[in-house]
Amino acid sequence: MSSGDENFFAGFMDDYFAECDEHLASIREQLLRLERGGEGAAADRDTLDELFRNFHSIKGISGMVDLREAELLAHQLETYLRAVRDSGAFGADGLDSLFDGITLLERTIAARREGTPPPSLDAIVRRLATAAAGIGSPSPAAPVQTSGDHGAANWRVVFAPTPDGAARGMNVDSVRSRLRSAATIVHAVPRVLPEGIAFEFTLAGDLSEPLIAEWRADGLTVEPVVPEPAAAEPEAEAELARGLQPSHVVRVDLTKLDDLMRIIGDLVISRARLEESLARVARHVPPVEWRHVQEGTASIERQLRELREGIVRVRLVPVGEIFRRMPFTVRDLAREQGKKVHLAMDGANTEIDKYLVERMLDPLVHLVRNAVSHGIELPDRRVAAGKPAEGTLRLSAAGVGDAVLIEIADDGAGIDGAAVAERARAAGLPVPSGPLDDKALLDLICTPGFSTREVADRASGRGVGMSVVKSTVAELNGTIALHTTPGQGTRYVIELPLTLSIADALIATMGERTFAVPQVAVREVVEVDAASLRPLGGQEVAPFRDGALPIVRVSRLFGLPDSDRPRLHVFVIGSGDSAVGLAVDRITGQREIVVRTMADTLVRVEGISGATDLGDGRVVLILDPLALARRGRRLEHGVPA
């Protein structure tokens, strides 16, 4: 097989997985609706129909890629749903079987994607069949048959055509005739296997050993049939036809959007370069002409910005894509641990860059698992503490300017600071003396090597710990904060930039050097009198509003000489008690910059998030104000940076 074919099959499987993801996402959405209705409630017909369609599609496409397990399970789920729809009730254990069945279906598809063995489906298939039978609907396809109707064994024969075989007369027609002379062909379908196109014949009848051997010698695959899902029922087909709406959605490979974004980035730089050149020739151009030129560049700038925003919007997906997975995680874990958890979600429609969604999935799942495992108490414990037996876990998301805030809050026991400190000491980690504030607590539990009960329960084992949560957020130029109150609950607040590659920035100078500072991190800009700076505990503070603002001279962080200017410009980072001022010589302008992150770990420096081309050929470093503020605070506490 040529490499082109391999690419083709890889692409085919990618399509399959993408399509499965879409159906599974829709399934999760429908399930949420079902769950809101409760087990006793009459099932909402539309929801059931939609679920039915999803299972039917997964069954079909799974068959096409020869993922038998997924095909079988989807079929069984479909059968059960038909029974539900006919009777209007879920039956005993029904809704649980449905949830478990879907979890297994996801795992089966994921196993194929990851190349791991699929989970065992025997138990769930039996449960679903029992549940369907229990509702009492005479479902035509419900019982799983292990043998043909007439007591004869069923066989599956797979024939893959090849040019060589065809030359020897081995073609689908001759194979079909041979099979027909030995048994009854129940059905014959083309399949797409990893090796290429193949034909699969299902035979009913007894095959003799010599015959099987002969067929195998001719390159046919012959095997007894495992329970075979029945072919699509006419009813389902009709339903599909009715449900198919013209689609207005295209699926785009993320790398193509990345390419577009890169091109726009280059355009932004070219425009900046053009503006620089124009500025140089400005005095040679008559004023009237010059105004036209300026209008021209101004509208190009505006259109570029619109184009950029358009691409950014294309990349945005609702954060609900992550949220929708959580009910399963919470439900499974709560059941496993005998807890009662109500999951509330706000702002699932808040949009966020697709890349961020993908990167944040595992960290958020980890935080949610933590909240259920370690935050929310057992029902009797909660009642004893005067709280409702059912704990509440709230996921919320909101857009704030160029950033997205994601919160995970539970009303559980909160984090026991003393226990964390003890644990950290036991693990040999340095622990600050005195009571730990939320920030110190977060730093400790995010230290690699620290883990509380994680080792023991299933919440671990995914290769994600708090340290990974923190580092992922940091890599995405975001921040994470912890707020915990013993007895009342824990809340994590994650702030992420909406998108990564192009940002508005303030351009600042220190001596002869120029730096860019992403505007999103800057709360405000103030000018301070250098003479008004007062030393305080190895640090300087400036009068600010009614209080004092700790000042970090960026020059000192980079080992540059202090400025001799009488007035300094200060970026205010953070708010309230955690506000820090980053002092530079002068802020010279504001512009769009294209962020080139420094991927090479050898050149990564804390406090520098990347570099950008200003358009005049100068490459300047982009400061990471949050990291600088952190580093500044450490200096303040006398800890070496």
Partner 1 sequence: MASLREVCTGGFVEAASGLEAIEQLALGPTALMVLDLNMPDMHGLEVLRFVRAHQAYRALPIVVLTTRGDETSRTAAAAAGASLFQTKPFTPHALAGQIRQLLEASAGQVRP
Nearer to partner 1, 199 or 492 (CB): 199
How deeply is 638 buried, as exposed, middle or buried, from its count of CB atoms within 10 A (0-12, 13-18, 19+)? exposed
Amino acid residing at 199: F
- Residue 138 C-alpha from the chain's centroid: 41
Nearer to partner 1, 60 or 119 (CB): 60
From residue 178, alpha-carbon distances to 182, 211, 292, 365, 611 in Å are 7, 10, 81, 54, 69
Nearer to partner 1, 9 or 355 (CB): 9
- Residue 110 C-alpha from the chain's centroid: 15
Please state the closest distance from residue 154 (CB atom) to partner 1, in A. 19
**Interaction site with partner 1 (CB under 8 A):** 8, 11-12, 15, 61, 64, 160-163, 166, 171-173, 176, 188, 190, 192, 196-199
Go through 179-215 and write b for each residue having 16 or more CB atoms within 10 A of its CB, e for each that does not.
Answer: beebbeebebeeebeeeeebbbbbbbbebeeeebeeb
Residue 262's CB is within 10 A of a number of other CB atoms, namely 13
Instruction: Return d(Cα 192, Cα 200) in angstroms, integer.
Output: 10
Please state the closest distance from residue 236 (CB atom) to partner 1, in A. 15
Inter-residue contact 509 to 617 (CB < 8 Å) = no
Residue 486's CB is within 10 A of a number of other CB atoms, namely 12
Please state the closest distance from residue 317 (CB atom) to partner 1, in A. 24
Please state the closest distance from residue 118 (CB atom) to partner 1, in A. 23
**Dihedral angle of Cα 425, 431, 434, 436, to the nearest 10 degrees:** -100
Nearer to partner 1, 6 or 206 (CB): 6
Please state the closest distance from residue 297 (CB atom) to partner 1, in A. 40
Nearer to partner 1, 56 or 631 (CB): 56
The three-state secondary structure class of 403 is strand
Nearer to partner 1, 162 or 221 (CB): 162
Please state the closest distance from residue 444 (CB atom) to partner 1, in A. 50
Please state the closest distance from residue 235 (CB atom) to partner 1, in A. 18
Please state the closest distance from residue 170 (CB atom) to partner 1, in A. 10
Residue 628's CB is within 10 A of a number of other CB atoms, namely 24
Nearer to partner 1, 63 or 550 (CB): 63
How deeply is 483 buried, as exposed, middle or buried, from its count of CB atoms within 10 A (0-12, 13-18, 19+)? middle
Please state the closest distance from residue 264 (CB atom) to partner 1, in A. 29
Nearer to partner 1, 173 or 564 (CB): 173
Residue 319 is encoded by which pair of tokens?
């954060």
Residue 45's CB is within 10 A of a number of other CB atoms, namely 10
Nearer to partner 1, 64 or 260 (CB): 64
